[in-house]
Amino acid sequence: MLGTMLEKGELDFAIRMYNNRTLPEGYHTVHLDDVKLLAVTSSLNLDKEARDLPIFFFDGLDEVILSTHFEHSQKVPDATTALSILRVKPGVAIIPESMHEQGEHQPIAINGANHLLIRRVLLWYQNLQLNPEKRFIISNLMSLLQSN
């Protein structure tokens, strides 16, 4: 029943990653409306190595967020700091859209097959948007439906 509702778009609190029906229920996350994520790198570094640096611009953000552990985020001073950390440590950085308007970075293509990278960004956004009560309901939805 839940899978059918998701396919028809009747539920807007969750999406299934890449519409891949073989992924388990745990891969559901909140629905993203009008969120623009743009992979970028420093305008000085357009080599292949830079394409593996997961950095995204996010509209409405006013600080640089760096996530080097799953579901753990921290603030960093600027995008340059985030880039230098990501060169030596796996993670993802989410940068305010205003920095892109200043022309400090250029869009690039990154490996879209990296499920953990995309999931990490979506989890960050989910935690930003949802309070603990809503997260509890979403994570326990199946058991709540079965108990009624």
Where is pLDDT greater, at 71 or 140? 140
Where is pLDDT greater, at 76 or 102? 76
For the chain, domain boundaries? 1-31, 34-129
pLDDT score at 31: 43
pLDDT score at 29: 42
Q: How far apart are CA 92 and CA 83, in angstroms?
A: 9
- The whole-number average pLDDT for the span 22-32 is 47
For the CA atoms of 37, 88, 52, 102, the dihedral, rounded to the nearest 10 degrees, stands at 40
pLDDT digits (tens, 9 = 90+) for 46-100: 455 554 556 677 766 778 888 776 556 778 888 778 878 877 777 777 777 777 6
Q: Smallest Cα–Cα separation from 138: which of 127, 4, 33?
A: 127
State the chain's mean pLDDT as an integer: 61
Q: How far apart are CA 130 and CA 138, in angstroms?
A: 10
Q: Smallest Cα–Cα separation from 105: which of 56, 36, 52, 35?
A: 56
pTM for this prediction:
0.44
